[in-house]
Amino acid sequence: MEAIKSYIEQNQEKFLNELFDFLKIPSVSADSAYQADVQKAADWLVSRFGELNMDRVEVYPTEGHPIVYAEKIIDDNRPTILVYGHYDVQPPDPIELWDSPPFEPVVKDGKIYARGACDDKGQAYMHLKAIEVLNQGGELPCNVKFIVEGEEEIGSDHLEEFVRKYKDMLSADIILVSDTSMIANDVPSITVGLRGLSYVEVEVTGPNRDLHSGVYGGAIDNPINILCEMIASLKDPETGKITVEGFYDKVEELSAEYREEMGRRPFDRAAYLADLDMADTGGEKGYSELERASIRPTLDVNGIWGGYIGEGAKTVLPSKAFAKISMRLVPHQVSDEITDLFVKHFQKIAPSSVKVEVRPHHGGEAAVVSTETPGYKAAAKAMETSFGKTPIPTREGGSIPIVALFQEVLGLDTVLMGFGLDSDAIHSPNEHYGVFNYLKGIETIPLFHKNFAELAK
């Protein structure tokens, strides 16, 4: 324990510089303009793994972005930890809102500012450094395997094929992932629940060309107005419930006990609103903010566009309007089923004056992980040691579809031991990750390896 701490202290500058090199590569998976950079990030990881004397380091190309695989097998009798992470990042826009360039990492007030600093380059790279730490003590306590993919931010479209194809190579006893957050730096927590996702793009077409709003305005329906009306109708104005038929059919209703226990999680509503500079929250009636953001499904428009959006005024009655709409799902809701329900519903509510097309993007299943597994216990004990506090099991609002995938294909539980904070602004301008959190992760992960070696015997 002391050896780990002192090694980290002596090497923290090196650890930070290595992460900075990683963050400088703009590996934006959603935008094909960055394709070469995504490849570059994969190659960079290969070199870093090379320095950790793994038995095997390989890049597996996919039809999308490549998957980096690495492994070190000490002894077939020891338990095996399969670490998952991703090296791709969200697009940086709106880029003008960044205080410093998204791909030129800087440390301010003890925080690393850069796209991917927390999600997930910073958190994924902790696991490589944890191996470096363990290497100092000689043999690794467990066998270790790594999958670091480049398509998490666009739905891990080619991961399932890879996992199915290399099922045997990936055999392990537990999946370990750091891609979630804790309640606070002095309130460690482990995520035991995640929401699923259904994501669609809709296109509403009115007239076959843009028209003059004076000549045609009033006579025909405007596809932007229609799209707004259709989107507005997706939520009940009274209850805030989503109106898509069948949407709630499989939603898990949680016990009063669970909701009460969950309610004990510290939540300062005033501070929450102040941080967002909002006067009020909003959403489904009858549930708290924490509940609405974790155990309840949602429907959010992630993007909308149509007509003239340039400088000045243009009196156009546009031909088309578009929106990107995503739904966060809770356990038992099935992503593909919800997507189908949405497509049917959206087609059904379209007036006869427009044509509607709905293009499904990626989806993912919700997941709940048990606190009774050796994996969870090893993580809880590790955090207890490094933070000096027993972590709280929490449900998160985000989605990590691979948890359900690993459960189904590899039959493995996943431990979601994340070190980020909800305030890290992931997916937003000025994403950041605490230097404390980065180093604390590098300190805690080796303890997990040691504990798991004991508990999984």
Q: Does 282 bind a copy of itself (CB under 8 A)?
A: yes
Q: Does 428 bind a copy of itself (CB under 8 A)?
A: yes
Single residue of 213, 243, 385, 407 touching a copy of itself by CB under 8 A: 213
Strands 392-395 and 189-194: parallel
Least distance to a copy of itself, CB of residue 307, Å: 4
Q: How is residue 254 annotated by DSSP? A: P
Q: Does 301 bind a copy of itself (CB under 8 A)?
A: yes
- The per-residue b/e assignment along 419-450, b for 16 or more CB within 10 angstroms, e otherwise, is bbbbebbbeebbbbbbbebbbbbbbbbbbbbb
The residue range among 67-75, 170-178, 282-290, 445-453 that interacts with a copy of itself, by the rule CB under 8 A, is: 282-290
Least distance to a copy of itself, CB of residue 20, Å: 23
Angle at 339 between CA 338 and CA 341, to 5 degrees: 60
If the CB atoms of residues 31 and 340 are measured against a copy of itself, the closer one turns out to be: 31
**Helix, strand or coil, per DSSP, at residue 34:** helix
Q: Does 271 bind a copy of itself (CB under 8 A)?
A: no
**H or E element in which residue 316 lies:** strand 316-317
End-to-end CA distance of the chain, in Å? 21
User: Cα torsion for 278, 281, 282, 285, to the nearest 10°?
Assistant: -170
Q: Does 266 bind a copy of itself (CB under 8 A)?
A: no
Angle at 79 between CA 119 and CA 172, to 5 degrees: 55
Single residue of 179, 396, 413, 443 touching a copy of itself by CB under 8 A: 396
If the CB atoms of residues 256 and 279 are measured against a copy of itself, the closer one turns out to be: 279
Least distance to a copy of itself, CB of residue 306, Å: 5
Question: How many CA atoms lie within 13 Å of 396's alpha carbon, on the beta-carbon side?
Answer: 25
Single residue of 24, 265, 324, 377 touching a copy of itself by CB under 8 A: 324
Single residue of 27, 80, 335, 399 touching a copy of itself by CB under 8 A: 399
Beta strands in 337-412, from DSSP E residues, in sequence order: 355-364, 367-368, 392-395
The residue range among 66-74, 132-140, 183-191, 392-400 that interacts with a copy of itself, by the rule CB under 8 A, is: 392-400
Q: Does 191 bind a copy of itself (CB under 8 A)?
A: no
Q: Does 276 bind a copy of itself (CB under 8 A)?
A: yes
Single residue of 292, 345, 440, 449 touching a copy of itself by CB under 8 A: 292
Single residue of 59, 106, 228, 251 touching a copy of itself by CB under 8 A: 228
Residue 418, number of CB atoms within 10 A of its CB: 23
If the CB atoms of residues 165 and 212 are measured against a copy of itself, the closer one turns out to be: 212
Considering only residues 361 through 380, tell me which ones interact with a copy of itself, judged by CB under 8 A: 361-362
Considering only residues 70 through 129, tell me which ones interact with a copy of itself, judged by CB under 8 A: 90-91, 93-94, 97
If the CB atoms of residues 10 and 32 are measured against a copy of itself, the closer one turns out to be: 32
Least distance to a copy of itself, CB of residue 171, Å: 30
Single residue of 210, 252, 337, 384 touching a copy of itself by CB under 8 A: 210
- Does the bond joining 210 to the residue before it have cis omega, within 30 degrees of 0? no
Considering only residues 150 through 189, tell me which ones interact with a copy of itself, judged by CB under 8 A: 153-155, 181
The residue range among 14-22, 99-107, 108-116, 324-332 that interacts with a copy of itself, by the rule CB under 8 A, is: 324-332
Q: Does 6 bind a copy of itself (CB under 8 A)?
A: no
Q: Does 312 bind a copy of itself (CB under 8 A)?
A: yes
Residue 279, number of CB atoms within 10 A of its CB: 6
Single residue of 58, 160, 203, 221 touching a copy of itself by CB under 8 A: 221
- Please return the burial class of 266, using the count of CB atoms within 10 Å of its CB with bins 0-12, 13-18 and 19+: exposed
DSSP symbols for 45-101 = HHHHHHTTT-SEEEEE--SSS-EEEEEE-S-TTS-EEEEEEE--B----SGGG-SS-
**Helix, strand or coil, per DSSP, at residue 456:** coil
If the CB atoms of residues 142 and 400 are measured against a copy of itself, the closer one turns out to be: 400
Considering only residues 23 through 42, tell me which ones interact with a copy of itself, judged by CB under 8 A: 29-32
Least distance to a copy of itself, CB of residue 355, Å: 8
Least distance to a copy of itself, CB of residue 249, Å: 18
**Of 264, 70, 41, 73, residue with least CA distance to 150:** 41
312: its two tokens: 């000045």
DSSP symbols for 405-423 = HHHHHH---EEE---EEGG
Single residue of 27, 326, 437, 444 touching a copy of itself by CB under 8 A: 326
Strands 174-177 and 67-72: unpaired
